[in-house]
Amino acid sequence: MDNPSRSERSRNAAIQAALAIIARDGPGKLTFEALSRESGISKGGLMHQFRSKDEILKALLAYQTEYFDKFSRDYLATLGTDHAEATLMAQIATSREAAAQSNSITLAIIAALIENPDLLAENRDAAVKSMERIKAEAADPDLALLRWEAARGIVLSTLLGLSPLSATERERLFDCLLDENRWTPGAAAKKPASAGSPRSRKPAKR
């Protein structure tokens, strides 16, 4: 194996080890010593790849961006070029992928938020661009943004360990967010209220 290939392999191993540490122990436990133990790479070898903890976090964020950009492009390819709300659908599907991963690479954002929020400037800019595309493509921009933020909220609560949803319930909600027939204007008005909903319950007779 040549040196560039060996270096790339070591870098990827370090990234996966870092994600495992963050998922298991939290961002505060991500140190060069812990990363060396987890990855099996010497501390000197790691410091040859990353000069500081911020460099590790930058590598994690870059890895995340590359992974999800490719996932989104592949998803968009399955939708076709004439889909009305392609960006929204791709964003929701990408959130679903992030929530389903055992050591989600989205943990890089949480780690950066805790350690150095300035590292998230590019992610914030990308979110603004996604929002503008979603609004431009949507018949109802507010409803589209609500679906987008709901998907992002599911990911965040799942990664923080705060979600009460089972994996099955989470998948069902993502199915709902991706089901455009449930979000067309007037769709809610056409559906009868369920028996358990506040609107459908009649006041008890006295």
3-state secondary structure of 17: helix
Of the chain, the percentage scoring pLDDT greater than 90 comes to: 67
**pLDDT tens readout for residues 10-64:** 889 999 999 999 989 988 899 999 999 999 999 999 998 899 999 999 999 999 9
Tell me how far apart the alpha carbons of residues 39 and 47 are, in angstroms, rounded to a whole number. 13
Q: Rounded to an integer, what distance in angstroms lies between the CA atom of residue 198 and that of residue 142?
A: 24
Q: Please spell the DSSP secondary structure of 76-137, one letter per residue.
A: HHHH-TT-TTHHHHHHHHHHHHHHH-TT-TTHHHHHHHHH-GGGGHHHHHHHHHHHHHHHHH
- Side chain identity, residue 160: L
Q: 1-12 pLDDT, tens per residue?
A: 555 677 788 889
pTM: 0.80
Instruction: Give the pLDDT score at 192.
Output: 46
Q: How does DSSP classify residue 200?
A: T
